[in-house]
Chain A
Amino acid sequence: DPKIIQKPKYLVAVTGSEKILICEQYLGHNAMYWYRQSAKKPLEFMFSYSYQKLMDNQTASSRFQPQSSKKNHLDLQITALKPDDSATYFCASSQNGASTEVFFGKGTRLTVV
């Protein structure tokens, strides 16, 4: 019974298009995150949110925009998609933003053609 739900599981997009990756968690956590894993690279931190406020942004491109409509939601909007954006995107959450265990969703594998 997954507690962090990511949708869709797989996504194919055309270069230049826009997609939204969905994430919702049912752990009652206050902090949520996005990570990215490109081919043969370790997971890389992208964003952190705490109580629906942006805490940290390690993504250089403004094409990546998190959206938090509810406390337990943190979607990721990606605009003007490029083939280099192809990766698996993982949503995660923790009770609070610091020194608490982080739990991950199963990821959305994005392929940009």
Chain B
Amino acid sequence: GDQVEQSPSALSLHEGTGSALRCNFTTTMRAVQWFRKNSRGSLINLFYLASGTKENGRLKSAFDSKERYSTLHIRDAQLEDSGTYFCAAEAGYNQGKLIFGQGTKLSIKP
């Protein structure tokens, strides 16, 4: 079936540094969302993209439907950015159903 391949599975960053997470899709997706799961288990909405890029503070996301990928860039990482990040994509033919990636566990070190 349709899959969302998310990488890396785990990432450790020092405060003030940055990196990127990536999701590859096995089929054309209509839209992508990025979430962060906090320590209490809540899914926090970060971005919703149907195309192009969006930026919010130290986070920036891009989505290329044709090339079948999305990225989430984190810059100037802070301790509170720690958590598990998920991408979730909506297939073009199946309205409203999100297919989740496996998640990236991000640890920020002082």
Measured CA separation A7–B92 after assembly (Å): 32
User: Which one of A13-21, A39-47, A64-72, A75-83 contacts B?
Assistant: A39-47
Q: Which residues of A contact B50 (CB under 8 A)?
A: 99
Known A43-B86, A44-B100, A102-B33: A107·B41 in contact at CB below 8 Å: yes
Instruction: Say if the beta carbon of A25 comes within 8 Å of chain B.
Output: no
Q: With a CB–CB cut-off of 8 A, which chain A residues contact B98?
A: 35, 43, 45, 102
Q: Name B100's closest neighbour in chain A (CB-CB).
A: A42
| Tally of chain A residues near chain B (CB < 8 A) | 24
Partner of A45, one of B30, B41, B97, B101: B97
A11 to chain B, nearest CB (A): 15
Beta-carbon contact of A94 and B96 below 8 Å: yes
Cross-chain contact A42 with B86 (CB below 8 angstroms): yes
Q: Is the interface of B mostly helix, strand, loop or mixed?
A: strand
Seen from chain A, the residues whose Cβ lies within 8 Å of a Cβ on chain B are: 31, 33, 35, 42-45, 48, 50, 55-56, 58, 88, 90, 94, 97-99, 101-104, 106-107
Given A50-B96, A99-B31, also A42-B102 (CB < 8 A)? yes
- Of B30, B95, B99, B103, chain A has the most CB atoms within 10 Å of the CB of B95
A88 to B4, CA, bound (A): 20
B40/A48 in contact, CB under 8 A: no
Report whether B96 and A102 are in contact in the complex, using a CB–CB cutoff of 8 Å.
Answer: yes
Minimum C-beta distance from A108 to chain B (A): 11
Pairwise interchain contact B100-A33, C-beta atoms closer than 8 A: no
In the assembled complex, the Cα of A56 lies from the Cα of B40 at a distance in Å of 29
Complex Cα–Cα for A4 and B79 (A)? 27
Task: Give A96 to B48 CA distance when docked, in angstroms.
Answer: 14
Cβ of A32 to closest chain B Cβ, rounded Å: 10
